[in-house]
């Protein structure tokens, strides 16, 4: 897929993103308004089966966080050289709370309730040497 | 209190930990033979069997060692709630009047660092595992971080819980970890998933537990010290609960399956959490014990710090929890883990727990397991 303003890159799974690659793609229940991520056909809240694709908000607040301290086993595909990475749940107001990697891995610089924004980040390099992108949230107003 | 329908009249265990050269099935047979001997019955007296194992073989194949008697033997697989599910199934079998007496067994033998899970088996895309989000250890870090924040607690309590687990494990000859570790050493151990360190987590392990169960009104025909299964319930998650392997959560929070399962077990027993003399709670890591204390109704949310720091949850305290060292000191052989809690509770109610016996002649015990993908099984045991 082509990311706006960026080089031709592949994502970890194109079905997770809007076609322009700028937002996560979820589902919204036509009957009760519940959201899911990724997309699914059935509503886990009202048990209905009428779901419509919806772009999820790119900005939210950090709901919880941790730091992955060791290199996960298979099926993890990250680089062999391991650097601890942050993981969080981010509340997207009126939609849902999404789990994601965080660009910050220092727990002292993370705080529940802080504003964060989604971005696409290189997660690993594929066999052809091309970066594979996934989504992550970064604290707003920090480098 | 309503009259219980089912009694445990024989208990058996194979020590937990690592037993090189002894298969999981052999450990199961060991536990079954002890349970049968404890009940004074033979395998030929068993009218049915329920068994669970995650990765150590099909439980129903144990009959080739125990005896080919044609009994109906059903395999149970329910993740961390496998043992509880086996017991609940046996309970239903006897309540339904299909059989009077039977066997429940759980066993497992996991290698070091087991439990890497395929996202597809949970209906999740491969990306979730590939990008490093599908880890139980990570989930527990995320969950306790939110819980401590919500209820205004610090992280010191996490080390105190693990310290108690190792202290109790040191008193239990069947435990894996039998060496005390100080809270300061636990807090300083390598950080696995902030704020949880290595010594706050349980490890995949080995072990087996078996019970002979029978109609409650016939229990005293077989033994003098039956333990009654006064309540037993299994529940799955509701929309909005915070469970392992969740790429997303609902904004509207719901109570955990633990809350539902505990309430159902107490209601069936006609008892309340205030009646409990000794409790075994799922302590996959320290934070789990902390949360489960309140979710089961044993205390209010936020009251745990005071209870733990005052020693109330120790063996001689007013609310003894995980008196055998819990998962942290015993490891977690999935098929056997929930039944270990019931074994320990039966020992306590029979007054046979030795160095880890709770004083004061306990009469009501409670057990609780919790696991993927958002299930909980609880029992209320009485004598």
> What is the band of B346 on the pLDDT scale with cuts at 50, 70, 90?
very high
- pLDDT at position B115 is 64
Q: How far off is chain B from A17, nearest CA to CA, in Å?
A: 12
d(CA B324, CA B85): 21
Instruction: Show the tokens assigned to B75.
Output: 């395999």
Residues of B in contact with A42 (CB under 8 A): none
Contacts of B192 (CB under 8 A, 6+ apart): A69, A70, B137, B141, B198, B200, B201
pLDDT in the model for residue A2: 41
CB contact under 8 A, B145 and A112: yes
Mean pLDDT (whole number) for A111-125? 96
Q: Do A64 and B126 touch (CB under 8 A)?
A: no
pLDDT of residue B375: 94
CA distance B37 to B26: 17
Question: pLDDT grade, residue A6 (50/70/90)?
Answer: very low
Question: In this complex, do A75 and B130 lie within 8 Å of one another by their Cβ atoms?
Answer: yes
Decide if B125 and A101 are in contact by the 8 Å CB cutoff.
Answer: no
Q: What is the reported pLDDT for B99?
A: 97
Mean pLDDT score across all residues of chain B = 95
Q: What is the pTM of this model?
A: 0.94
- Is B193 in contact with A95 (Cβ distance < 8 A)? no
Spatial CB neighbours of B105, under 8 Å, sequence gap ≥ 6? B28, B31, B32, B35, B49, B50, B51, B52, B59, B62, B86, B208, B209, B210, B211, B339
Q: Is B129 on the interface with A (CB under 8 A)?
A: yes
Chain A residues whose beta carbon lies within 8 Å of the beta carbon of residue B189: none
Confidence at A94, pLDDT banded by 50, 70, 90: very high
Neighbours of B77 (CB within 10 A): 15
Which of B 94-113 lie inside 8 A of A, CB atoms? 113
Looking at residue A5, its pLDDT comes to 41
Q: Which one of A62, A69, A137 would you mutate to disrupt binding with B, by most B Cβ within 10 Å of its Cβ?
A: A69
- How far apart are alpha carbons B25 and A37 in whole angstroms? 41
The answer to whether the CB of B286 falls within 8 A of the CB of B181 is: no
How close A16 gets to chain B, by Cα (Å)?
A: 9
Is the CB of A112 inside 8 Å of chain B's CB atoms?
Answer: yes
Residue B268 in this model has a pLDDT that exceeds 70: yes
Instruction: Say yes or no: B287 contacts chain A, CB-CB below 8 A.
Output: no
What letter does residue B119 receive in the DSSP assignment?
G
* Selected residue of A66, A87, A88, A94 to mutate for chain B interface (largest B Cβ count, 10 A): A66
pLDDT at A126 over 60: yes
Nearest C-alpha in B relative to A121: B131
How many beta-carbon pairs below 8 A join chains A and B? 115
Nearest residue of B to residue A79 by CA position?
A: B131
Task: Give the pLDDT score at B372.
Answer: 82
Asked whether residue A3 carries a pLDDT value surpassing 70, the answer given is no
Give the tens place of pLDDT for each residue, B115-135: 667 888 888 999 999 999 999
Higher-pLDDT residue of B50 and B3 is B50
**Inter-chain residue contact B133 with A37, CB threshold 8 Å:** no
Rounded mean pLDDT, B227-233: 97
List of chain B residues whose C-beta atoms are within 8 Å of the C-beta of residue A96: 248-251
Q: What is the reported pLDDT for B2? A: 65
DSSP letter string, B294-306 = HHTTSS-TT-HHH
- Summarised one tens digit per residue, pLDDT across range A22-69 is 999 999 999 999 999 999 999 999 999 999 999 999 999 999 999 999
Cβ pair A97:B132 closer than 8 A: no
Whether B279 has a pLDDT exceeding 80, the answer reads: yes
Q: Is the pLDDT of residue B382 over 70?
A: yes
Measured between CB atoms, which of A38, A65, A98 is closest to B142? A65
Q: What average pLDDT does the segment B181-187 reach?
A: 98
Q: How confident is the model at residue B79 (pLDDT cuts 50, 70, 90)?
A: confident
């Amino acid at each position: 897929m082509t990311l706006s303003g960026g080089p031709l890159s592949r994502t970890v799974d194109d079905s997770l993103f809007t076609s322009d690659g700028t937002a996560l793609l979820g589902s919204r229940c036509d009957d009760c308004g519940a959201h899911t991520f990724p997309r699914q056909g059935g509503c886990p809240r009202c048990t209905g089966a009428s779901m419509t694709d919806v772009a999820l908000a790119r900005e939210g607040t950090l709901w919880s966080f941790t730091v992955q301290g060791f290199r996960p086993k298979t099926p993890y595909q990250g680089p062999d050289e391991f650097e601890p990475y942050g993981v969080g749940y981010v509340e997207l107001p009126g939609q849902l709370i999404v789990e994601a990697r965080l660009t910050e891995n220092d727990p002292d610089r993370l705080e529940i309730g802080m504003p964060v924004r989604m971005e696409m980040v290189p997660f690993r390099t594929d066999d052809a040497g091309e970066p594979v992108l996934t989504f992550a949230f970064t604290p707003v107003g920090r480098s | 209190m309503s009259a219980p329908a089912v009694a445990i009249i024989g208990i058996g265990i194979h020590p937990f930990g690592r037993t090189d050269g002894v298969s999981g099935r052999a450990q199961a047979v060991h536990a079954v033979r002890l349970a049968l001997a404890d009940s004074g019955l033979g395998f030929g007296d068993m009218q049915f069997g329920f068994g669970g194992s995650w990765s150590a073989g099909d439980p129903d194949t144990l009959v080739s060692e125990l005896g080919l008697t044609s009994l109906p033997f059903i395999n149970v697989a329910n993740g961390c709630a496998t043992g509880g599910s086996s017991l609940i199934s046996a309970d239903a079998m006897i309540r339904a009047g299909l059989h009077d007496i039977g066997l429940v067994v759980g066993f497992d033998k996991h290698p070091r660092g087991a439990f890497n899970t395929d996202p597809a088996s949970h209906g999740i895309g491969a990306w979730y595992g590939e990008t490093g989000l599908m880890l139980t250890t990570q989930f527990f870090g995320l969950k306790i971080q939110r819980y401590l924040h919500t209820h205004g607690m610090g992280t010191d309590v996490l080390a105190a819980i693990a310290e108690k687990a190792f202290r109790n494990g040191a008193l239990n000859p069947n435990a894996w970890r039998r060496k005390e570790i100080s809270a300061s050493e636990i807090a300083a151990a390598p950080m696995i998933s902030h704020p949880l360190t290595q010594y706050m987590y349980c490890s995949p392990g080995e072990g087996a537990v078996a019970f002979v169960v029978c109609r409650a009104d016939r229990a005293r025909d077989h033994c003098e010290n039956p333990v009654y299964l006064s309540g037993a319930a299994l529940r799955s998650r509701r929309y909005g609960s915070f469970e392992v392997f969740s790429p997303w959560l609902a904004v509207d929070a719901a109570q955990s399956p633990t809350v539902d399962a505990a309430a159902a077990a107490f209601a069936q027993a006609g008892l309340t959490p205030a009646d409990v003399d000794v409790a075994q709670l799922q302590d996959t890591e320290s934070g789990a014990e902390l949360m489960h204390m309140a979710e089961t109704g044993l205390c209010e949310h936020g009251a745990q710090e005071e209870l733990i720091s005052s020693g109330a949850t120790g063996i001689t305290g007013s609310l003894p929890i995980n008196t055998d060292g819990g998962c942290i000191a015993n490891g977690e052989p999935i098929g056997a883990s929930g039944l270990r809690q019931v074994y320990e509770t039966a020992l306590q109610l029979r007054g046979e727990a030795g160095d880890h016996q709770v004083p004061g002649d306990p009469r009501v015990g409670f057990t609780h397991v919790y696991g993927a993908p958002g299930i909980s099984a609880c029992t209320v045991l009485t004598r």
